[in-house]
Amino acid sequence: MSQQKQFRAIKGTRDILPPDSSLWNWFERQARETFESYSFRDIRTPIFEDTDLFARSVGTDTDIVSKEMYTFSASSEAASHDGEQMSLRPEGTASVCRAYIEHGMHTLPGNLKLYYSGPMFRRERPQKGRYRQFYQMGAEVLGPSDAPGIDAEVIEMLVVLFRRVGLEKITLYVNSIGCKECRPKYVELLRVELRNAKDQLGPDSQRRIETNPLRVLDSKLPEEQVIIERLPRISDHLCEACRAHFAKLKDELALRDIAYEENWRLVRGLDYYTRTTFEVTAAGLGSQNAVCGGGRYDGLVELLGGPPTKGIGFAIGADRAILSIQESGKLPHLPGLAVFVAWMGLKAYPTAVAMARKLRERGLIVELPAEEMKFKKSLGLADKLGAKYALIIGEDEVASGTYTLKRLSDANQQKLAEPELLEYLESERRGL
């Protein structure tokens, strides 16, 4: 007999099951509420786009575009796209900028503040905190102004969220990588210095001397660290405007009491950045400890065919943020099953159905067995499901109009008429 194939989630992808999914929902809720309190609004873009969109914005020489994208051909039915390549989105910024241009959002007043949440796809080597389908919650500010106060407010929002969800031992790193005026000169200087040290570098860095010397600064190879530490630093080569922007950003962070570390090697793995870059690391994550990355990308909208626009944003790796919260062991109190309706006798069933609905309308989580169960079995199941209370409804209870409410933790019982019962459980709701 041939063996049935056992299907499993594809390498680098995973199922998020209860109770973890409750923690995910909670985290996403905290993020949405925080972002909305800063006047950001939700944007939902497709999970696949024209491959060129990512190539042009993230950069053809980046690891993301050159090695990690899931790319496929448009179907022949989509005549207008025939022959074009599409990719699952590896990140969200490019799509937000594409939507900004497509919908003429530059005509909206002020700077536009958008946030998004959803799966991203990169064909990376899976390990703890690194998946091929992972989830980001990101925020972007697009519009006419590049005031450093915007950068600082975006960073403040992030710090406020991380504090709210109890992320531990977070460190914020900031840097400025200059603009199209000063960075090319610095990159050239770096290239010259790196060529001199070429023999001491590994193959990846050797290749990057020509393709993207800035990325050498990202190297974690122990043998390259001495060389990198001796390289010229961008902070000494910023133009006057970038230097002033970075200085003002640091003032704005101080004004907000936000602790940070300057890290001149924080260049980020995407090509669209200008000036401000930042990253946040958290505890409990091992080598993949960046829970968030972001920065300024003035000029990206123009590069994609839109009007001159400034931009800044970040994306939180939700998988990593949640992993860090789990590793800390300090989980939030999340509402669980409050009431198990233990009904017995077919005459009790209509009352049980009505009571379950009334409790649910009052915000309680209620389980109602669809089939009659023996009393002992019913209470046993209530216990196994972790219910706080069992509401016992038998034919006698229906006749008398009073119901027995049993607290399962200590078997404490009280008999209550419907109005008192509903009132009591509603008042208990917050603690359940």
Which residues in this chain contact ligand HAM in the complex, by CB under 6 A?
91-93, 122, 124, 129-131, 134, 136, 138, 140, 269-270, 290-295, 297, 313-315, 317, 319-320
Q: Give me the helices (H) in 118-235, please.
A: 148-164, 183-196, 203-211, 225-229
* Closest approach of ligand HAM to the CB of residue 289, in Å: 9
DSSP string, 23-34: HHHHHHHHHHHH
Check if the beta carbon of residue 59 is closer than 8 Å to that of residue 300.
Answer: no
Neighbouring-strand partners of residue 175:
277
Task: Take residue 328 and report the two structure tokens written for it.
Answer: 């800390």
Number of Cβ within a 10 Å radius of residue 371: 5
Residue nearest to ligand HAM (CB): 317
| Three-state DSSP class for residue 115 | strand
Task: Please give the Cα distance from 312 to 141 (Å, whole number).
Answer: 5
Return the number of the residue (86 or 270) whose C-beta is nearest ligand HAM: 270
Return the number of the residue (134 or 173) whose C-beta is nearest ligand HAM: 134
* Closest approach of ligand HAM to the CB of residue 237, in Å: 23
* Closest approach of ligand HAM to the CB of residue 281, in Å: 9
Query: Which of 256, 224, 226, 242 is CA-nearest to residue 160?
Result: 256
Return the number of the residue (322 or 339) whose C-beta is nearest ligand HAM: 322
Task: Take residue 105 and report the two structure tokens written for it.
Answer: 């959002």
Return the number of the residue (122 or 406) whose C-beta is nearest ligand HAM: 122
Return the number of the residue (190 or 292) whose C-beta is nearest ligand HAM: 292
Tally the C-alpha atoms within 13 A of residue 279's C-alpha that lie toward its C-beta: 18
* Closest approach of ligand HAM to the CB of residue 311, in Å: 8
Return the number of the residue (290 or 422) whose C-beta is nearest ligand HAM: 290
* Closest approach of ligand HAM to the CB of residue 133, in Å: 8
Return the number of the residue (149 or 269) whose C-beta is nearest ligand HAM: 269
* Closest approach of ligand HAM to the CB of residue 166, in Å: 17
Return the number of the residue (117 or 351) whose C-beta is nearest ligand HAM: 117
Give how far the C-alpha of residue 261 lies from the chain's centroid of Cα atoms, to the nearest Å: 23
* Closest approach of ligand HAM to the CB of residue 57, in Å: 9
Task: Please give the Cα distance from 211 to 231 (Å, whole number).
Answer: 18
Q: What is the 3-state secondary structure (H, E, C) of 61-104?
A: CCHHHHHHCCEEECCCCCHHHCCCEEEECCCCHHHHHHHHHHCC
* Closest approach of ligand HAM to the CB of residue 348, in Å: 50
Check if the beta carbon of residue 418 is closer than 8 Å to that of residue 352.
Answer: no
Task: Please give the Cα distance from 145 to 399 (Å, whole number).
Answer: 70
